[in-house]
Amino acid sequence: MLYAATAAISHCYSLPRERQVLSIIERQQTKAAGGAEAEMEAEAEEGAAVPEEEIESIERAALLNRAACSLELGMHQAALDDCVRVLRDEPANPKALFRRGRSLLKLGRLQEAQKALKGASKLLPTNKAIRAELREVVRSC
């Protein structure tokens, strides 16, 4: 089971956008660790520096995709951890709130799940999936 879960999450990162995220993050970490020489090498490789906001946006997308994979595999704590990381930078991210709520529901933390799902519902009031999860939480209370 663990091998299957690892393979599925690795597959999430094999998607082009996620590979790009990992590559960009690695280059940024290399720049930070290696100083000016590493920075010049990294910039020569990529052609031009990538704006920090773009890197953060891609990283959030990758974390949300990994959270979705983790939820499907029953790895609820891992999904929750990824959502928490996204919400630290973007507290009003409806996908992160929704997936956080789903994770908390599966972990039996019903009050926290309800709060997260209500937050997602306020941001996307017509979303049927959010409303369905919220009903599930209310039923479970």
The residue type found at 89 is D
Q: What are the pLDDT digits (tens) for 39-94?
A: 556 555 555 567 888 889 999 999 999 999 999 999 999 999 999 999 999 999 99
Does 9 score more than 70 pLDDT?
no
Answer whether residue 102 shows pLDDT above 90: yes
In SS3 terms, the chain reads as CHHHHHHHHHHHHHCHHHHHHHHHHHHHHHHHHHHHHHHHHHHHHHCCCCCHHHHHHHHHHHHHHHHHHHHHCCCHHHHHHHHHHHHHHCCCCHHHHHHHHHHHHHCCCHHHHHHHHHHHHHHCCCCHHHHHHHHHHHHHC
Residue in the structure block whose two tokens are 């529901």? 105
Span 2-140 CATH architecture: Alpha Horseshoe (1.25)
- Give percent of the chain with pLDDT exceeding 90: 60
Instruction: Please answer whether residues 106 and 76 qualify as being in contact, where contact means their C-beta atoms are separated by less than 8 angstroms.
Output: yes
Mean pLDDT of 17-22: 62
